[in-house]
């Protein structure tokens, strides 16, 4: 007999709430789970738990809340802080998905006898005859597709993951289903910010939660010409133009950092572009390794368009050669590789 028991991660938002409804309608035995990750913020406040529990009550499914605040600090917040300490720009959602939503939650699912876990992400899983394995794919949601932030999940989990929203094209369809079924979260706004930095002020968060402090240094060109002063390396990101407080004969952008000299390096628009990049901390979903150069589409940040490139694995790194130079490649961000709609894998840009 097929095990149709599924543990669904519920944030109290409309996506995970409609996911609960759709799974129940499809005949799954659904358990709702809300993870307590942070003491405050858009993901973790009393309304989150109340909304999730109310939805579960209205659908007649059980709901549990699990305290993972210590693990969230270890895997997500500490990584976020360390990235900024090392002049990298992190994407904490990717760490959260790997360790929390598709790590600890899957362990909890097994404890509860569930074959599946599910979330309200816009992505898709299916068995590929061509590749002879379960694959992670883009959803039908276009720009709202979230496969980019899922590249780092363990590949052995893919056959155990359900994405009930995979075939919806826009958020309004989801809200309409919620309204038709009298789910009180139908019009609840989306949370756009980093969940543990709800005010969007990540610099203030770093100063309150770590030993990172403003430390003045020089803003320099690649040739070493000093153009001004900066207020701390963590206050800047690759590609930034505004707020530099310098004047020059042409527009200048942040193109890099020298942490040893405490310098922000600036350059022209042309100097922002690069034809090659490397990633580390790689996770391959479609292949066990990439022995020969293959052609892929690459996304180098969540909001970026895909770029055509070739990739090849060099021990524990992957070398990316772009067909056309790419702007503002940012260390710490993820490069995610696709063949068509299938996620090949990804890694952290160096």
pLDDT tens-digit series, residues 115-131: 999 999 999 999 999 99
Percent of the chain whose predicted confidence (pLDDT) is above 70 = 98
Residues 153-171: tens digit of each pLDDT: 999 999 999 999 999 998 9
pLDDT of residue 252: 97
Pick from 158, 40, 35, 166: which is nearest to 101 by CA?
35
- Confidence at 42, pLDDT banded by 50, 70, 90: low
Q: Answer whether 52's CB lies under 8 Å from 295's CB.
A: no
pTM: 0.95
Residues 250-280: tens digit of each pLDDT: 999 999 999 999 999 999 999 999 999 999 9
**Domains (range + CATH), the chain:** 5-180 (3.40.50.620), 214-268 (2.30.30.280), 273-349 (2.40.30.10)
pLDDT of residue 2: 72
pLDDT of residue 334: 98
pLDDT of residue 194: 87
Tell me how far CA of residue 313 lies from CA of 38, 279, 294, 346, in angstroms: 37, 10, 10, 11
pLDDT of residue 44: 59
Mean pLDDT over each residue of the chain, to the nearest integer: 95
Tell me how far CA of residue 246 lies from CA of 211, 218, 229, 242, 260, in angstroms: 28, 11, 8, 10, 22
Residues 302-319: tens digit of each pLDDT: 989 999 999 999 999 999
Question: Encoding tokens for residue 59?
Answer: 């659908």
Residues 218-262: tens digit of each pLDDT: 999 999 999 999 999 999 999 999 999 999 999 999 999 999 999
pLDDT of residue 193: 74
Q: Is the pLDDT of residue 326 over 90?
A: yes
What span, in angstroms and rounded, lies between the C-alpha atoms of 318 and 272?
21
Tell me which DSSP letter residue 1 carries: -
The dihedral region occupied by 142, where left means phi > 0, alpha psi between -120 and 50, and beta the remainder, is: left
If one compares 15 and 41, the residue with the highest pLDDT of the two is 15
Percent of the chain whose predicted confidence (pLDDT) is above 90 = 91
Pick from 85, 90, 116, 103: which is nearest to 154 by CA?
103
Three-state secondary-structure class, residue 45: coil
Residues 17-40: tens digit of each pLDDT: 999 999 999 999 999 999 999 876
The catalytic residues are 96, 195
Q: Is the pLDDT of residue 213 over 80?
A: yes
């Amino acid at each position: 007999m097929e095990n149709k028991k599924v543990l669904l991660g519920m944030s109290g938002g409309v996506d995970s709430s409609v996911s609960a409804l759709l799974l129940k309608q499809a005949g799954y035995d659904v358990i709702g789970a809300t993870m307590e990750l942070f003491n405050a913020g858009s993901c973790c406040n009393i309304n989150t738990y109340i909304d999730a529990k109310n939805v579960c009550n209205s659908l007649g499914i059980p709901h549990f809340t699990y305290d993972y605040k210590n693990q969230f600090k270890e895997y997500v917040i500490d990584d976020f802080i360390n990235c900024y300490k090392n002049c990298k720009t992190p994407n904490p959602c990717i760490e959260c998905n790997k360790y929390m939503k598709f790590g600890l939650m899957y362990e909890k699912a097994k404890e509860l006898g569930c074959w599946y876990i599910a979330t309200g992400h816009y992505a898709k899983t299916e068995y590929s005859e061509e590749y002879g394995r379960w694959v992670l794919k883009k959803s039908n949601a276009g720009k709202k597709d979230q496969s980019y932030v899922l590249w780092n999940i363990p590949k052995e989990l893919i056959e155990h993951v359900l994405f009930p929203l995979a075939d919806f094209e826009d958020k309004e369809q989801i809200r309409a289903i919620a309204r038709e079924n009298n789910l009180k979260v139908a019009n609840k706004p989306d949370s756009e910010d980093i969940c543990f930095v709800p005010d969007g002020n990540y610099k203030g968060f770093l100063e309150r939660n770590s030993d990172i402090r403003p430390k003045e240094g020089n803003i320099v060109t690649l040739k070493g010409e000093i153009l001004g002063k900066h207020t701390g390396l963590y206050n800047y990101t690759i590609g930034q133009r505004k707020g530099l407080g310098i004047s020059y004969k042409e527009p200048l952008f942040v193109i890099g950092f020298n942490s040893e000299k405490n310098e922000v390096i600036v350059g022209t628009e042309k100097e922002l572009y690069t034809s090659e990049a490397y990633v580390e901390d790689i996770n391959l979903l479609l292949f066990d390794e990439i022995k020969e150069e293959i052609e892929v589409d690459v996304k180098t940040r969540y909001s970026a368009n895909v770029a055509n490139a070739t990739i090849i694995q060099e021990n524990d790194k992957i070398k990316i050669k772009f067909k056309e130079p790419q702007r503002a490649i940012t260390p710490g961000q993820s490069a995610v590789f696709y063949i068509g709609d299938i996620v090949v894998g990804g890694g952290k840009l160096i």
